[in-house]
Amino acid sequence: MNADDLLALSPVLPVVVLHDADQAVPTARALLAGGVRVIELTLRTDAALDAIRRVASEVPDVVVGAGTVVTPDQARAAKDAGAAFLVTPGTTDTLLSAAVDTGLPVLPGASTVSEAMRLAEHGFDRLKFFPAEASGGAAALSAIGGPLPQLRFCPTGGITPAGAPRYLALPNVACVGGSWLTPKDALAARDYARIETLAKEASTLGSEATTAT
């Protein structure tokens, strides 16, 4: 799998924070039942690596990756846990080198033109745009596409179901990252039926954006 394959899996890449690894498998299965075949489990909790391990071993039809990778040790640990890809909120030379060394597809984070250009110099043309809404939203990404048309993005951060089609309609946006597919209250209630419904709705956003254009 390469970065293009990853970004083509779903119009919405679920960004998931789990505090209980026991929820990893049912959450992944609910997303899969809703038509979403990919999940980004963020390394923001102590349960994250175990959650990745469980999804990788028990839900093979879901491509599981590690998000919020901010240190070289996290990149290596995520690979060891079975992550199929890595996502970083930003990049440093040390982190980028360690992530590349894992051999996994990497979606490095950028929020400015200079950061995107620097990553392009390192050979990356598929990037995460974070934090999307706080960094200018769809208008900013549209402007970036002028001087840097070869780059494609997965914007993440503050995006809602209502706002997602504006991003997905842009030629330099491959998919969007969204935390709304697995809201905190649904996870707290173990309401996997709701997560499945939200995944089904998210699966149609790509076609809606195409129709809008």
Could you give the domains of the chain?
A: 3-212 (3.20.20.70)
Structure tokens at 122: 């390192």
- The catalytic position among 40, 121, 196, 200 is 40
Which of the 8 DSSP states describes residue 127?
E
pTM of the model: 0.95
- Determine the pLDDT at residue 208: 54
Q: Which of 107, 76, 140, 96 is nearest to 13 (CA)?
A: 107
d(CA 182, CA 191): 9
Q: Which of 27, 29, 31, 16 is nearest to 202 (CA)?
A: 31
79 is catalytic: no
Q: Which of 10, 54, 14 is nearest to 35 (CA)?
A: 10
Decide if 107 contacts 13 (C-beta within 8 A). Answer: no
- Determine the pLDDT at residue 207: 58
201 is catalytic: no
Give the contacts of 131 (CB within 8 A, at least 6 positions apart).
111, 156, 157, 158
- Determine the pLDDT at residue 211: 43
- The catalytic position among 128, 196, 200, 201 is 128
Look-up of token digits 């690596």: 49
Decide if 84 contacts 64 (C-beta within 8 A). Answer: yes
- Determine the pLDDT at residue 209: 52
Decide if 106 contacts 4 (C-beta within 8 A). Answer: no
Which residues of the chain have a pLDDT value below 70? 207-213
Phi, psi angle pair for 35, to nearest 5°: 95, 10
